[in-house]
Chain A
Amino acid sequence: MRGFVAGMALALAPWVVSGCSTPSASDSVQGHLGLVVTQVGADSAWAPSQDPSKRYPIGSRIVYVRSNGAAEDVRLLSGALAAAGSPAISPRGDAAIFAGRADADGRWSIYKTSLERGRPRRLVEFSGDCIDPAYLTPQRIVLSCRTSSLEDWQLYTAAPDGSNLRRISFGIGAATGPAALTDGRIIFSQAERRATGPGSEERVALYTLNPDGTLLEPFSGSHDPGAARLQPREGDGVVFVVASRPSTGWSGLERIEMGRPQSGRVELEFPLRPLSVEASSDGELLVAAESRVPDQVGRRTAGIYRWIPGGGEPSPIFDTTDWAETEVRAVSTGLDRASRNLPSSIDPSRSVGTLVCYDANRSDGEVGPKRDSAVLTKIAIEGATRTGRSASAIELSRHAVESDGSFALEVPADTPVRLRSLDSDGAVIATSSWFWVRPGEVRACFGCHEDRESAPVNRPVEALAKYAQALSDAQGTSR
């Protein structure tokens, strides 16, 4: 062990101070200050990925590092688990939840343990794998699960004791790495696969979602083929994310402005290869990062750094010889940045949702319909059929588009669907990404591939007068 870098307690001051703002929780903060870190054996092969087996090879573990910098103050949290990762700290700062597997071939499950004592206990009963837990509020956690390795990771929410598990995402492609935003939404990484044509390379973009699974919205990166954005974390008015481009081996740290998430994304000049990031309320970052050069014996090395964007070299605060530190979470109460508890707007008694488009001709022109090149007359709605990990589209129905570009239709709930805009000859003008609606959800689209930083235009909408067109026979031909 290279040992702790002196001054770690000072380094963590911003996280501690913010936590101390809640008097009722201050005792637990005083007692639990430190870091929770994922360690991967220095000789292991590992890579940032949505796939937990790549992120957390056998032998990976979770440790709690107290702040006084003494070696004996590292406590193993993942016990005898064969592999563990993706830790999250409870809002009171007294416990951690994380993903782990009991043996090399076992399923990934969610575990919880006190930071100070006891062994991890399994939290969620699920027939498949579960990873990436995060606290939404003290009353609710979010996680990512899949029923088998052939299925995509989907988001679920649960009570903090693991009960009351509810699925909230229904997309095509893996949904992983959820985190709470202070406004109450969830931000997460969604893999998208485009079948053919320009931009067909897989991308992992950031999306937001309400905790009840409604209001899926692209946040950033959905127009960046070949790029992956993982582990988003909210800072003060910004989101930090680890970005990579697997085909070139590039990775970097990005800052995305909440105020303009599509256009306000910048790559930070972080000199190391970032693996995970945590933001404090005063702009400091804790970054788990890999050195861009191997150590003397040719092994990859990674440690925990404190860094102020634009503030020079990152300061190492925790680094060990035998382990690569690949993820870091700061222990604080978290209550100073508590997420809002958003109400649910779904109606479980319904099997459909409603989709209202105000103007399908409104587009930023990148791939959407262009009014001058083709006249949009119909909308086809397509569902997905799955064969293993591949999905093919089936047309469910076609609907007329009103003269003002609007349409309103009912969509089967809790299943992936996408839209195709068609001209008068039935030729496809544009195809949307896969999305879903929840039962009873009324989803409004302001345009078709319109600028996602734009508000809707106030005007009478023809389709609203013809609201509640029933979804016609869900028959179609496989594409």
Chain B
Amino acid sequence: MKNRGKGRSVGQSVLSALLVLAIGAPAAWFGAKSLVGIHIESKTGRPAEKVVACWYCHGEVAPAPRRDVADSSAYISPAGLAVTSGGERLLVVGETGDVLLVVDPATGSVVRRVDLPGAPHDVATSADGSTVAVALRDADRVVLLDGETFEVRGELPAGREPLGVRFVPSTGQILVANGGSRDVMALTADGGQVRRWGAGTEPYAVAVSGDSQVAAVANRRALLRPEPLLPATELTLVDLVGGRVDDRRLLMSSHLVEGVALSSDGSFALVPALRVRNYLPTTQVARGALMTASLVFVETAPGGRTVYFPLDETNAYYADPSDVVLTPDDRLAFVSHGGANAVSVVDVGALKNRVESSSAQELEALAEDLGAFAEYVVARIPTRDNPRALAVSPDGSQVFVAERLSDSVAVIDTERLEIVQRITLGDAEPDATRRGEIVFHDASGTFQGQFSCRSCHPDGHTDGLNWDFEIDGIGLHRLETRSLLGVRGTAPFKWNGKNPDLATQCGPRFARVLTRAEPFAEEDLADLVTYIQSLPLPAPRPVDPQLEDAVERGRELFFRTTTNSGVEIPLGDRCDTCHRPPLYTHRLKTDVHSGGSFDTPHLLGVADSAPYLHDGRAASLEEIWTVFNPDDTHGVTNDLTKVQLNELILFLRSL
């Protein structure tokens, strides 16, 4: 009896415990959830849309590092090439290796190494061979070296982020394309600034005609143009004799314009461009539905035609066209495809014939004709990883191809149209970050190799374009591409904040809705995530000493709790509630009445990531508040004076 009673008692206890667990655990869970919800609301001033773990807000989060002039890596990453006037030396600048390598093209050996801290991005030689100029991207300078000894002779101040450099043969002036400050400078070797012209978005490369009459500047990213205007990239044409911008030719639906070549007489320019179809939903990739590679033929004379020659094929794509060179006789053009690991060889005569023999309507149709390549593409030459910068030998017999992520230069024989030599610049074994960088730049992960991660995120940044993703309903929510710079620690991802980590963001679902191809292999995905997390924030913008006080006043406005009239600003309407330091995001979704509730973006490097808001409707930081915040739903700002708003923006631009 006793035992039975004890057994019953134990059974009752177990049953009770189970009951408590069955009822209590969910109750405790829901209680905790509501407590967390209350806590979040108390800290954000807005109802919690999502309950998150404590560490989500209270864990230690370190922002990604900034791009730093002092950084260099084990890899060379050849970014710019030039050949000396006699063809005796090939000059290679290594962007991550911080180095200028002088190569004997006859033997393929590196004969001289010059350390150049500051991410050298492009290199040029003067017509007489006496001077070499190197654009230092992170140092905002151009370094001049002796053309024979390669000793550094001096340096010139450039604009922000100089990316392209070329000499004007007749004057010896140095043209510099400044990607960050969006302008082009004409400098003299003694440091004088002759001219400074405004250019498009991210001036990237410069070409000068052989007769020194014309310069053409390729701007990598599209101009910020309100919808429903098509995106367009500017090709800036400069009259070097008159010293003025002659034309700002728009390359329609174009993006990722990184190269330009001018014919010897300057009558036409060739520009590789990625042509996007961002107004159409991402329902498929096949048949060039998202983007195609083109070579744009631009007649430089006023009123000249702009003709788009597709480089892709109906069932094969040559992603991320990057640089272009013309042989000295203007007979052949070579175009590197960074995402396809190939160089296309184009018969320039065939391009001209087509332009001359076609009506305007036919040329318009040509732009989308994926079968047209057969008329003018005479060869496809496979390369190693990420071919970008090109250079042609003075006699036109060789074209050099910088295989950026293989740390090598391929040498193409322009008669045989094949690689006849490969120059090894470095032999560092790729680590996870480098392997991930290769995955990021390789288009083979998308259907028929149409695009790579870089196609929309050049250098990890943003294309500045809106895309209509099918997954949330076609025609709805055209979403701006978010920059990946400094993305580490800013989870969740996507504008709807649904992806908790980058592996999810880039995983099988991504393949299903965007790349329409086999998902990344597990190890490739891990490497890719490692690379994306390594992407640094843009270099800090130096604050003009005269504006330091204004920036400080802007900072106070950012953290203010009362309006100008002394009224307390509700917690949910203060800047720093949602854009909480150190990342300047609380990583939760917020509805600022822009058309839905969206993940709160971080503000680090925000000055470089225009346009703004989820659909890129604000072309500038100013527009966020002057145009799209009439009811103070995106922070209380309507009481600010014009000067105060400028100060607030100055502060934001300093982040």
Contacts and interface: CB of A to CB of B under 8 A. Distances in A.
A complexed with B: yes
Interface of A: 183-184, 215, 217, 237, 257-264, 340-345, 354, 356, 358, 408, 442-444, 446, 451-461, 463-468
B516 A345 contact: yes
Contacts of A460: 227-228, 279
B316 A356 contact: no
A259 B288 CA distance: 12
Given A217-B287, A264-B374, A464 B475 contact: yes
A259 B280 contact: no
A257 B374 CA distance: 10
A260 B377 CA distance: 13
Contacts of A260: 313-314, 370-371, 373-374
Contact of B518 (A237, A341, A466): A341
B425 to A, nearest CB: 29
Contacts of B289: 444, 455-456
Given A345-B512, A453-B314, A458-B276, A442 B470 contact: yes
20 contacts: A260-B313, A260-B370, A264-B371, A342-B518, A345-B512, A345-B516, A408-B474, A442-B283, A452-B314, A453-B370, A455-B287, A455-B289, A458-B276, A460-B227, A460-B279, A461-B279, A464-B281, A464-B474, A464-B475, A467-B474
Contact of A454 (B283, B368, B475, B513): B368
Contacts of A468: 473
Nearest to B229: A460
A467 B476 contact: yes
Nearest to B370: A453
A262 B518 contact: no
Given A260-B374, A446-B287, A457 B470 contact: no
Nearest to A358: B280
A464 B468 contact: yes
B475 A456 contact: no
Nearest to B277: A458
B371 A444 contact: no
A455 B288 contact: yes
B374 A340 contact: no
A343 B446 CA distance: 11
Contacts of A184: 447, 517-518
B315 interface: yes
B567 interface: no
A421 to B, nearest CB: 20
A408 B468 CA distance: 15
Contacts of A343: 508, 511-512, 516-519
Nearest to B276: A458
B310 interface: yes
B365 interface: yes
The secondary structure that dominates the A interface is: loop
Contacts of A461: 279-280, 475
Contact of A458 (B253, B369, B474): B253
A451 B373 CA distance: 15
B447 A183 contact: yes
Q: Closest 10 interchain pairs by CB?
A: A455-B288, A259-B313, A464-B475, A260-B371, A453-B371, A467-B475, A343-B512, A458-B277, A258-B315, A460-B228
Contact of B279 (A183, A354, A453, A458): A458
Interface string B505-527: 00010011100111100000000
Given A259-B313, A467-B475, A356 B281 contact: yes
A354 B289 CA distance: 17
Contacts, number: 132
Given A444-B281, A456-B289, A259 B371 contact: yes
B374 A259 contact: yes
Nearest to A183: B448
Interface string B275-312: 11111110110111100100000000000000000100
A459 B370 contact: no
Given A259-B315, A454-B369, A342 B475 contact: no
Interface hub of B276, B470, B474 (most chain A Cβ within 10 A):
B474
Contact of B286 (A217, A442, A467): A217
Q: Chain B interface residue count: which class?
A: 35 or more
Contact of A344 (B279, B470, B512): B512
Given A458-B230, A458-B275, A464-B468, 20 more contacts: A183-B315, A217-B286, A257-B374, A258-B314, A259-B316, A259-B370, A260-B371, A260-B374, A264-B371, A342-B518, A343-B512, A442-B281, A442-B283, A442-B470, A456-B280, A458-B278, A458-B279, A460-B228, A466-B475, A467-B475
A430 B289 CA distance: 24
A457 B369 CA distance: 10
Contacts of B374: 257, 259-260, 264
Contact of B368 (A215, A262, A455): A455
Contacts of A262: 314, 371
Interface string B177-189: 0000000000000
Nearest to A262: B371
Contacts of A451: 369, 371
Contacts of A452: 287, 314
A461 B368 CA distance: 17
A115 B283 CA distance: 42
Contacts of B365: 454
A123 B254 CA distance: 52
Contacts of A454: 287, 365, 368-371
Contacts of A341: 518
Interface string B12-46: 00000000000000000000000000000000000
A129 to B, nearest CB: 31
A443 B283 contact: yes
A345 B475 CA distance: 18
Contacts of B316: 237, 258-259
Interface hub of B286, B374, B447, B475 (most chain A Cβ within 10 A):
B475
Nearest to A463: B475
Contact of A456 (B287, B476, B508, B512): B287
A468 B370 CA distance: 30
Contacts of B288: 455-456
Contacts of A264: 371, 374
B517 A342 contact: yes
Contacts of A456: 277, 280, 287-289, 368
A451 B365 CA distance: 10
A72 to B, nearest CB: 43
A451 B316 CA distance: 17
Contacts of A342: 447, 516-518
Nearest to B511: A343
B315 A467 contact: no
Nearest to A259: B313
A440 to B, nearest CB: 10
Contacts of B519: 343
A255 B648 CA distance: 65
Interface in B446-486: 447-448, 468, 470, 473-476
Contacts of A354: 474
A466 B373 CA distance: 36
Contact of A258 (B283, B313, B470): B313
Contacts of B468: 464
A164 to B, nearest CB: 19
Given A258-B316, A260-B374, A467 B473 contact: yes
A209 B368 CA distance: 22
Interface hub of B287, B365, B508 (most chain A Cβ within 10 A):
B287
A464 B278 CA distance: 13
Contacts of B511: 343
B513 to A, nearest CB: 8
Contacts of B373: 259-260
A456 B289 CA distance: 6
B615 to A, nearest CB: 13
A27 B284 CA distance: 40
Contacts of B283: 356, 442-444
A169 to B, nearest CB: 17
Contacts of A466: 475
